[in-house]
Chain A
Amino acid sequence: DGGITQSPKYLFRKEGQNVTLSCEQNLNHDAMYWYRQDPGQGLRLIYYSQIVNDFQKGDIAEGYSVSREKKESFPLTVTSAQKNPTAFYLCASSGSRVFPSEELFFGEGSRLTVL
């Protein structure tokens, strides 16, 4: 079945450590996104990528980094520079790279807790 796979689902990190969240899709989508969701808040865009080897900062990119070396993969690294990294991280993809398509397909999310 086609879809988006995020791993790990739950992750605990000590302060000062970098951590990488995996996102893989087999939907053959060009566009991929990373969002962050905090309790009682909407999703906020961290980074997005319209095509392989290209990505753009979203609204809250500071303290995060991404790569897009393969169409299927868009990993997110939460660095020690991110001041408040505890959150629910959602990866998504869409079929359109010209304009946001009508539907975003989300992975099941990764819940990061910094101890």
Chain B
Amino acid sequence: RKEVEQDPGPFNVPEGATVAFNCTYSNSASQSFFWYRQDCRKEPKLLMSVYSSGNEDGRFTAQLNRASQYISLLIRDSKLSDSATYLCVVTGTTDSWGKLQFGSGTQVVVTP
């Protein structure tokens, strides 16, 4: 079983609609969680961190469910520019420095 799993998609979303997707992780001791965005053939860039209480950044909302071991990302009022692959990133325990675990990404395609 992979340590971090994501639905690869693609999620085809009409412009202006809402899309949400999850990422599950296997290490219950994981401490930090992030969403990165990666455009086609480009480098990943941090979209947002995921806090225990949930957090929002404009049209993006991230949530953490420790009991079920997943994080989620919701995008409201989707824009064409939101088309990208969204990578879930989970860190291990303090004993595993450098051990960021990347999911393989969820592709989102926003259509006019």
Contact = CB atoms under 8 A, between A and B. Distances in A.
Interface string A24-46: 00000001010100001111110
Interface residues of B, number: 23
Given A90-B43, A107-B43, A99 B94 contact: yes
Nearest to B8: A40
Chain A, interface size category, equals 20 to 34
B45 A100 contact: no
Contact of B104 (A42, A45, A108): A42
Interface of A: 31, 33, 35, 40-45, 48, 50, 56, 58, 88, 90, 99-100, 102-104, 106-109, 111
Interface of B: 4, 8, 32, 34, 41-46, 49, 87, 91, 94, 97-105
Nearest to B94: A99
Given A102-B49, A106-B44, A43 B98 contact: no
Given A99-B91, A100-B91, A107-B43, 19 more contacts: A35-B102, A40-B8, A42-B4, A42-B87, A42-B105, A44-B102, A45-B100, A48-B98, A50-B97, A50-B98, A90-B43, A100-B97, A102-B32, A103-B46, A104-B44, A104-B46, A106-B43, A106-B45, A111-B41
Contacts of A104: 44, 46, 100
Contact of A45 (B42, B46, B49, B99): B99
Contact of B43 (A42, A50, A99, A108): A108
Contact of B102 (A42, A99, A103, A108): A42
8 pairs of A and B residues whose beta carbons are closest in the complex: A42-B102, A106-B43, A43-B102, A42-B104, A48-B98, A103-B46, A41-B104, A100-B91
Contacts of B43: 90, 106-109
